[in-house]
Amino acid sequence: MFGPGYRANTVELVSWPPFSSPRGYRASIAVIISTQSDIDPKKINLHFQMKRWVVKGGEKSEVRLQKNTTRCYVRRLSSWLSDYDLLEPNAFTTLAANYHFENGEYTPQWKNQPVIKILERLSVDIPDIKSLLANPTDFIETNQMDILIPARSYQKAGWGTGVPFSDERNLLEQILDFLPSEATLTAPWVKILIVKELKKSISQRFQKTPKISKPSSGKLPEINEELQQFLVEQANNINKILVCCRTPEVGEAIERIAKHYFGDSLTLEFQSSQSLADPISEEKSKKRNELFPKTKHIKEFGKHNQPEFPAPIIVEILPPDHQSYSKGQDPYPHIKSILPQYNLIPQCILSSENVKRSDEFEEVESEDKLEENIDNRALSAIIDAILPFNQDYPLSIFEGELCKDNTVYAGFYVIRRNKKTANQSFSEPVLVSIYENQVRVLLPARDLQFRSMPDAICELARNRTSRSDSNNQVINNVLSRLSDRYSSAEDIYLFAHAQNARSYWTWLQDSKFDREKPPSRKIHIIRIRDETNYEAPEGYRLTTKEETFEEESASFGQGIFIPQDCNIEKVEFTQTVFSVAQKPDTNKLPKQMSRFQNNPSRNKPWKDQQTRAHNILATPSPENLKLHHAITHHLRTCHWWTDAQSKYPLPLSLAEKLKEWCFNDGESENTD
């Protein structure tokens, strides 16, 4: 059946009737059909998803909606045509549901009230949402209206998330039977081999950092002298970390982990302040007929503990599904965006307080079981607290005082907030540069001063952009400032996230791009597209001639790839190249895994490698196509705090990370 396509380049098909498990769970397969504009010959991309429907909330608890908006799938909206002999409905409609604050607590509602009123006038009886959430099975596969609630990724729903490659291939072959004979499946992508010269260039540029072994099953790993010295060096700009805990278990874990991994180099200052992370209540404004969050206690904490210079703080918060949030908002975004106004740069750690759940509807095991471990959460919190202060980043190789890599790596990102997520919508462009391991941040809509990351975070939290320059002028200023500041560098790489930046920097758009008129002839400008809007195609990768798809080697390939009908030696420098991340070590799933066959791995979540599409849009050295893509791909592995390949090249990851402290979810009436 047709489902709602949320993007202009997509349409969705959802299988019906749903599959059923012995315990009564239901699920459907969704096929997202998207177009891809920049590859010749033109292709249609198919993306597979598991639609796992909520069927129960347990004996004592009703189903809870998602944090912001839940799109419920509705079938059979045809009451006003009941006198006609119609075919079975062949499409879903969606109705959005959310929570609204009423009489001191959050209650569920159908979000689009004008639509609901129109349907009521057409004699379409939309059930009360409280009845739906209390008894979801009464609205699945009925003779009347069906309403289905998608399960969240962490919930048990009979099937795991994601569709394994073997199932994708099986489904593709069935789909081909319904298409014209001219339609064919694309051949596997071809891996671009990194030859000896390229490997040498990479190895001579970039450091190899030690792997951080994580706690597991309540045991702390052995830490050798090399790793501990490395971690101490990453924290050498920090005098102390302020720690605010709700529970003694979390405080003890943070202290234990700091001692084990960092020795005596980290000073922790513990402070009991449970109210800092209490759920945020709302009040009606006396001046405007609007609700505003009561955050005065967070501001008072910041004033009372404000250091002279930016400093890290770790705050223990409740899990997002904690029952306390039925009467208040999650404080996480408010803590993150308010405390930097007082030179406190916060990271949060989930509390060890239990969330009341039923046996029938609980969180599934994490894709990475380590994340369930309190010691592992403590390690992540400490590393996240250190990261913004890591100004001497372990990236390029030094010999004594001399850096062997005279190259600048920069990432451009636009932080956006609309009126739903801020009291005033805004776009804040940021650029992070790394040169000779020094990390600097440019806020070009404000000024052309390069700041440290802590200073940039505090600046973002204190003030909104009051810009007068046009977007084009800001971009021109960025490129000029980058070229001037690093005029002695041999190369400058600038990575931009396409879906994020192209509405601000329109030259990144396919329709506006002109390779004959690059905005800079000194800078390598590389556009990165991810799965957003389904623009990075799915596919399978065979890394050697001996591998076959049936052996499931395809799903474990990693590297940089091009479509098989391309010759890397002859293609234009703008040719799309795919960067495929390596599976993390913790993703130990069986290769022969299926959602449809009766095997024990059916309930396990499946996560594809993260595929990115690279396009070099400008370069002073097009003849070095392979090197530019090899560097771009390698920079996904240079995040010292994780052994998994990240979503983006390092400087782009750091630029994106700045949005954590730029939330500003409405202002209280008392601005003091």
Q: What is the DSSP string of 429-484?
A: EEEEEEETTEEEEE-TTT-S-EE-HHHHHHHHHH------S-HHHHHHHHHHHHHH
Compute the residue count for the chain.
672
Residues 551 and 445 in one domain: yes
Residues 46 and 123 in one domain: yes
Mean pLDDT of the chain: 82
Question: Quick one: pLDDT band at residue 63, thresholds 50, 70, 90?
Answer: confident
- Residue pair 244/254 in contact (Cβ under 8 Å)? The answer is no
Report the C-alpha gap between 612 and 531 in whole angstroms: 7
Report the C-alpha gap between 412 and 8 in whole angstroms: 25
Average of per-residue pLDDT across 545-556: 51
The tens digit of pLDDT for each residue in 386-427 reads 999 988 899 999 988 899 999 999 999 999 877 665 666 788
- Placement of tokens 């291939």 in the chain: 169
Residues 577 and 634 in one domain: yes
In a domain, 667, yes or no: no
Residues 159 and 37 in one domain: yes
Domain containing residue 493: CATH number? 3.30.420.10
Domain containing residue 340: CATH number? 3.40.50
Residues 215 and 145 in one domain: no
Q: How far is CA 531 from CA 32, 197, 426, 658, 666, in A?
A: 12, 32, 24, 21, 30
Q: Where is the domain boundary, 389, 413, 447?
A: 389
Residues 356 and 405 in one domain: no
Helix, strand, coil tally for the chain in percent (to 5): 30, 25, 45
In a domain, 603, yes or no: no
Average of per-residue pLDDT across 608-625: 88
- Residue pair 613/536 in contact (Cβ under 8 Å)? The answer is yes
Query: What is the model's pLDDT at position 113?
Result: 75
Q: What contacts 440, CB < 8 A, 6 or more positions away?
A: 432, 433, 434, 450, 451, 452
What pTM was computed for the model?
Answer: 0.86
- Residue pair 617/513 in contact (Cβ under 8 Å)? The answer is yes
pLDDT at 365 over 50: no
Q: Where is the domain boundary, 329, 359, 389?
A: 389
pLDDT at 147 over 60: yes
Question: Quick one: pLDDT band at residue 21, thresholds 50, 70, 90?
Answer: confident
Query: What is the model's pLDDT at position 474?
Result: 94
In a domain, 666, yes or no: no
Query: What is the model's pLDDT at position 311?
Result: 96
Range of the domain at 147: 2-176
φ, ψ at 107 (rounded to 5°): -125, 150
Minimum mean pLDDT among 91-100, 385-394, 437-446, 658-667: which range? 658-667
Question: Quick one: pLDDT band at residue 359, thresholds 50, 70, 90?
Answer: very low
Query: What is the model's pLDDT at position 112?
Result: 77
- Residue pair 415/658 in contact (Cβ under 8 Å)? The answer is yes
Residues 412 and 383 in one domain: no
Residues 232 and 336 in one domain: yes
pLDDT at 30 over 70: yes
Total domain count, the chain: 3
DSSP code of residue 654: H
Q: How far is CA 255 from CA 233, 383, 389, 641, in A?
A: 19, 13, 20, 19
The tens digit of pLDDT for each residue in 426-449 reads 889 999 999 999 999 999 999 999
- Residue pair 524/619 in contact (Cβ under 8 Å)? The answer is yes
Question: Quick one: pLDDT band at residue 540, thresholds 50, 70, 90?
Answer: low
Query: What is the model's pLDDT at position 672?
Result: 35
Strands 344-350 and 19-20, by their bridges, are unpaired
Average of per-residue pLDDT across 625-636: 94
Query: What is the model's pLDDT at position 479?
Result: 96
- Residue pair 111/23 in contact (Cβ under 8 Å)? The answer is no
Question: Quick one: pLDDT band at residue 211, thresholds 50, 70, 90?
Answer: confident
Burial 424-446 (b: 16+ CB within 10 A, else e): eebbbbbbbbbbbbebbbbbbbb
Q: How far is CA 480 from CA 196, 304, 430, 448, 477, in A?
A: 35, 42, 15, 10, 5
Report the C-alpha gap between 552 and 593 in whole angstroms: 9
CA atoms within 13 Å, Cβ hemisphere of 346 = 31
Q: Which range is most confident: 89-103, 142-156, 392-406, 463-477?
A: 392-406
Considering only CA atoms, which of 278, 284, 311, 315 is closest in space to residue 297? 278
Considering only CA atoms, which of 10, 28, 266 is closest in space to residue 151? 28
Average of per-residue pLDDT across 621-643: 91
Query: What is the model's pLDDT at position 70?
Result: 86
Query: What is the model's pLDDT at position 462?
Result: 87
Residues 375 and 480 in one domain: no
DSSP code of residue 185: P
Q: How many CB atoms lie within 10 A of CB 176?
A: 13
Q: What contacts 280, CB < 8 A, 6 or more positions away?
A: 293, 294, 295, 328, 329, 330, 331, 334
Question: Does residue 651 have a cis peptide bond before it, meaning omega lies within 30 degrees of 0?
Answer: no
Question: Quick one: pLDDT band at residue 603, thresholds 50, 70, 90?
Answer: confident
Query: What is the model's pLDDT at position 547?
Result: 44
In a domain, 217, yes or no: yes
Q: Tokens in use for 599?
A: 């095997």
pLDDT at 665 over 60: no
Percent of the chain with pLDDT over 70: 81
In a domain, 307, yes or no: yes
In a domain, 671, yes or no: no
pLDDT at 651 over 90: yes
In a domain, 607, yes or no: no
The more confident residue out of 539 and 559 is: 559
In a domain, 606, yes or no: no
The tens digit of pLDDT for each residue in 151-207 reads 887 777 888 888 877 788 788 888 888 888 877 776 667 788 887 888 899 999 999
The tens digit of pLDDT for each residue in 501-531 reads 999 999 999 888 888 889 999 999 999 998 8
Question: Quick one: pLDDT band at residue 657, thresholds 50, 70, 90?
Answer: very high
Residues 556 and 525 in one domain: yes
The more confident residue out of 524 and 294 is: 524
DSSP for 348-406 reads: EEE--PPPP-BTTB-BPPPSSGGGGSHHHHHHHHHHHHHGGG--B-S-B-EETTEES--
Question: Quick one: pLDDT band at residue 229, thresholds 50, 70, 90?
Answer: very high
DSSP code of residue 582: P
Residues 196 and 292 in one domain: no
Question: Does residue 17 have a cis peptide bond before it, meaning omega lies within 30 degrees of 0?
Answer: yes
Q: Where is the domain boundary, 389, 407, 426?
A: 389
Q: How many CB atoms lie within 10 A of CB 539?
A: 21
Residues 341 and 481 in one domain: no
